[in-house]
Amino acid sequence: MLCWKGSSVRRKEKTALLPVYLNVYDLTPMNAYGYWLGLGVFHSGVEVHGVEYAFGAHEAPSTGIFEVEPKKCPGFTFRKSILVGKTDMAAKEVRVFMEKLAEEYRGNKYNLISRNCNHFCNEVCVKLTQKPIPRWVNRLARLDQGKKEFRRDDGPIYFFVFFDT
């Protein structure tokens, strides 16, 4: 006989699905031109539960993860917000996850090509939504790594060569 009333079986309360956004910023005014050509240099942050989390460089061996007001990251020009997916993680669970990532993402380990803010955002989005960030956001890092992994959904890539006469 099963007795549900007063049972010691604990069930996780269902949490409403909440949106997870990737907020993308321009690092340089040249993005105004390069963006339409399929190129750009971008900073990104993940917005969830009304907080934006991002990763940046500094010289200390402490975490490079920081929080800002959504769409207002100092030093960058906001470009767009992209709905990556939804999460059922509560705010407290997200905070615990960020604290775990803090050990991995130290400011003095930041690398523009192999461990930047976009890599951080991709890892966070995959954990929260099971979906990666759009490939174009970190395209410049992939270009510099010399990878030939561009797909049709990456959009066009144009290379310009200037000759000094």
Q: Which residue has the higher pLDDT, 16 or 23?
A: 23
Q: Which active-site residues does the annotation give?
A: 43, 117
> Measured on CA atoms in the order 111, 55, 120, 106, is the torsion positive or negative?
positive
End-to-end CA distance of the chain: 90
C-beta of residue 91 within 8 angstroms of C-beta of residue 32: no
Tell whether the model's pLDDT for residue 122 goes beyond 60: yes
CATH number, domain of 72, equals: 3.90.1720.30
Domain presence at residue 152: no
Q: What is the pLDDT of residue 144?
A: 55
pLDDT band at 33 (very low <50, low <70, confident <90, very high): confident
Domain presence at residue 155: no
Residue found by looking up tokens 């991995």 in the block: 104
Domain presence at residue 49: yes
Domain presence at residue 112: yes
pLDDT band at 139 (very low <50, low <70, confident <90, very high): confident
Query: How confident is the prediction for the chain on average, in pLDDT?
Result: 84
Q: What is the pLDDT of residue 3?
A: 42
Q: What is the pLDDT of residues 46-100, one digit of tens each?
A: 999 999 999 999 999 999 999 999 999 999 999 999 999 999 999 999 999 999 9
Q: How far is CA 25 from the centre of its chain?
A: 11
Residue found by looking up tokens 């407290």 in the block: 92
pLDDT band at 147 (very low <50, low <70, confident <90, very high): very low
* Nearest of 24, 137, 152 to residue 76 by alpha carbon: 24
Q: What is the pLDDT of residues 104-119, one digit of tens each?
A: 999 999 999 999 999 9
Domain presence at residue 6: no
Domain presence at residue 29: yes
Structural domain that includes position 95:
18-143
Q: Which residue has the higher pLDDT, 41 or 153?
A: 41
Q: What is the pLDDT of residue 159?
A: 39
Domain presence at residue 150: no
> Measured on CA atoms in the order 69, 65, 62, 115, is the torsion positive or negative?
negative
Rounded Cα distance, 133 and 121, in Å: 7
Domain presence at residue 132: yes
Tell whether the model's pLDDT for residue 146 goes beyond 60: no
Rounded Cα distance, 96 and 53, in Å: 13
Q: Which segment of 22-26, 58-62, 148-152 scores lowest on mean pLDDT? A: 148-152
Number of domains into which the chain is organized: 1
